[in-house]
Amino acid sequence: MGSEGQRGPAAARGPGQGDPRALRRDCQHRIFVNRSLALEKIKCFGFDMDYTLAMYKSPDYEELAFNLLLEHLVAIGYPPEILAYKYDPTFPTRGLVFDALYGNLLKVDSHGNLLVCAHGFRFLKGAEILHYYPNKFIQRDDMKRFHILNTLFNLTEAHLYACLVDFFTNCSRYVNCDTGYKHGNLFMSFRSMFQDVREAMDHVHLSGCLKEKTLENLEKYVVKDPRVPLLLSRMKEVGKVFLATNSDYTYTDAIMSYLFDFSHGDKADVPQRPWRSYFDLIVVDTRKPLFFAEGTVLRQVDTDTGKLRIGTYTGPLQHCAVYSGGSSDVVCDLLGVKGKDILYMGDHIFGDILKSKKRQGWRTFLVVPELARELQVWTEKSELFEELRSLDLFLAELYQHLDSGSSERPDISSIKRRIQKVTHEMDMCYGKMGSLFRCGSRQTLFANQLMRYADLYAASFINFLYYPFSYLFRAPPVLVCSPQPLLLTCCASVSLPEGGMGLIEVLGRHPTPWLAGASLSLGALSTPSLGALSTPPQMAHESTVEHSRLDSGDAVTALPPWLAQHGDPGQQVPQDSSGEEEDDGEA
């Protein structure tokens, strides 16, 4: 991979002097950086299973879960008419907040400022929003009222809330109230609706009906990629590999057997081998995020029957053995590694990423499947971003020679209207709720959490296949303050081959314009990021400001088992002061 910098005439210019665009990887293969990480220092690679190693096909998998939820709600007394609703993948996005008082779905920034507000499928504007939220702001630490829908499993839940609100709002049998619906002497609050949906989610996961339906048609619901065994075999050559999943052994074995079921092994001329042979340690029933705290009793699994053996396992690590429960401390002890030696990959910010970093100091890689779509839109709709850039420059010209003593007031009303129109058009390219990462020029809560807690992130862990294990992922410096407008060239990472000069992989445009400030390089001021178009880039010190309580992780033991894997969707991500820069690659 390091040879990518030696193409054409650029090679004759000497190290570090070639065309940066010639060094960039394919857009869909890139890994993006929030904190520097030297891959050669990683001694152990850890994986979650659901939505990480095992990617579920969208929207088929979400449709399955959605239909099961509807069936359960009807079974407990909801009107059978709701069965007419179909899952719409263009509506929900992760990171939405459900207001259990007024029944609204909200898209907010990291401080609780409202970006989008929907009641059912109707988007509220102006006076309607002010009726519910006079300051266009929510107190995110009110966790009994505001519930964050942060996981990929929450996509169906978010859509179901919208469907139920839409149905009862438009059903003539029910009287609309601010906090729910009235039918005769009965009153159904939005809070009780929320509780019913949460109980339905518990039922779908705990009863095993979702898993059963998935296993009945694996080809329809699970992505099978021959690159998975190839990458894991390469990782095992340079370090240790472990699996830590909340799923039980029976389901894990079925899913993993399917993922590794090829006519050959990791190479065409190598015979197929059991999936367990790709891992040094396998732990099921981990009950994350409890797994990253005190954990549970470590037991050994009988792989023939799937049953647990009696008593706590206290012996050494056994090859191809499977364990149940335990804790992250047990993983470190069995594998003989320390926290900083581990790079753990998962899909959930709270259950996988935040807790592994805060409690154990593990390095973290967040899987963001939506990133592939976001990058596609960014590429296909580049003319919209260019128009925003032009409008921003025009605004700068109008104010260029004015100061506090100027009486002149430029008329910018038409420019503001045009910015709003282009921004709305841009947001709608991503879906009805807009981008996962931004709303116009403002960063979403999800984007802020990603920047704070994930060292690396990409659409898939498979992207490691396109980087050498000697790679240095370098987070470029970000100015504490920057004037507006500032046009920035954006950098994803730096490769430092042994004994060689650093080769900067620079993207022609910022691949994630919504995350301005997460990985910006100030080496050349030529190509804009979206963050530079309307507002200065997010400053490093600003990204740690949250309206949330310091830590509520001690309460995670009350979560149901299926929910514990992904964290409580209503759980606020606590503040973290552990975002220090690593010394990787520092001269």
β-sheet bridge partners, residue 188: 181
| Cβ neighbours for 131, distance < 8 A, ≥ 6 positions apart | none
Q: Determine if residue 108 is left, alpha or beta; phi over 0 gives left, psi from -120 to 50 gives alpha, anything else beta.
A: beta
Instruction: State how far the Cα of 112 lies from the Cα of 348, in Å rounded to an integer.
Output: 20
Beta strands at 114-119 and 37-38: parallel, antiparallel or unpaired: unpaired
Tokens 């699994």 -> residue: 301
- 23 Cβ contact list (under 8 Å, min separation 6): 4, 5, 503, 504, 505, 506
| Cβ atoms of 485 and 393 closer than 8 Å | yes
Amino acid letter for position 281 = L
C-alpha–C-alpha distance, residues 257 and 272, integer Å? 11
Angstrom distances, CA of residue 401 to CA of 396, 408, 482: 9, 10, 19
Looking at 19, 26, 48, 269, which residue is catalytic? 48
CB 326 within 8 A of CB 293: no
Dihedral of CA atoms 84, 90, 96, 99 in degrees, nearest 10, equals: -30
CB 284 within 8 A of CB 247: yes
Cα→Cα distances 156→51, 61, 198, 487, Å: 15, 10, 11, 39
Catalytic (active site) residue 178: no
Q: Which two tokens stand for residue 519?
A: 């990985």
- Angstrom distance (rounded) from CA 409 to CA 404: 11
Best CA proximity match to 436, nearest among 371, 490, 381, 388: 371
* 376 Cβ contact list (under 8 Å, min separation 6): none
- Is 48 among the catalytic positions? yes
CB atoms within 10 A of CB 195: 12
The encoded tokens of residue 357 equal 């970093």
User: From the candidates 50, 266, 280, 392, which is the catalytic residue?
Assistant: 50
* Residues annotated as catalytic (active site), given as ranges: 48, 50
